[in-house]
Structure 1
Amino acid sequence: MVNDEEQHSLWPAFAEVPAGWRVVFGEDSRAACVEYVEKNWTDMRPKSLRDAMAADDAARQAAQS
């Protein structure tokens, strides 16, 4: 599963998907699910933090121009 902050989680197939999360990888073995997460969640920072840091970097670069 993944949320709006692009954080990933493993979740049992029998359990209801919590609000704010969506399924991005089908039901499979734990090993396959872990492999998917490891390949697709390469930056542990929440999306909002990554976006804020990118905006700060852009503002800093614009100020230096």
Structure 2
Amino acid sequence: MPEEPYAREYMVVRNNEEQHSLWPIGRELPLGWHEEGKHGTREECLDHIERIWTDMRPLSSRRRSVQ
């Protein structure tokens, strides 16, 4: 029986542009993505991302707008 996708445990990941996503624990991360530290259910990880990722612009865009 296939595993229910929402029953998995996830981790929050971040790339070099400080964009966040969630990723199933146990799967290899794509190049350029790093574990951020939060693990939990899909909903817990999405809630965490919503709290910490308040500016959706990539880091390079934020830096350009300050100059």
Give the alignment's Cα RMSD to 1 decimal.
Answer: 1.0
43, 47, 66: which is aligned to 1:31?
43
Paired residues, what number?
55
TM-score scaled to structure 1, two decimals? Answer: 0.77
- Matched with 2:31 is 19
The runs of at least 4 aligned residues of structure 1 exceeding 6 Å deviation read none
Residue 22 of structure 2: SS of its match in structure 1?
coil
1:5 aligned partner: 17
Greater Rg over alpha carbons, structure = 1
Q: CA deviation at 1:31?
A: 1.3
Question: 1:19: Cα distance to partner?
Answer: 1.2
TM-score computed with the length of structure 2 as normaliser: 0.75
Question: Can you give the 5+ residue segments of structure 2 that lack an aligned partner in the other structure?
Answer: 1-12
Gaps of 5+ in 1: 56-65
SS in 2 for 1:27: strand
- In terms of fraction of residues, the more strand-rich structure is 2
Q: How many Å separate the matches in 2 of 1:31 and 1:23?
A: 17
Sequence identity percentage: 44
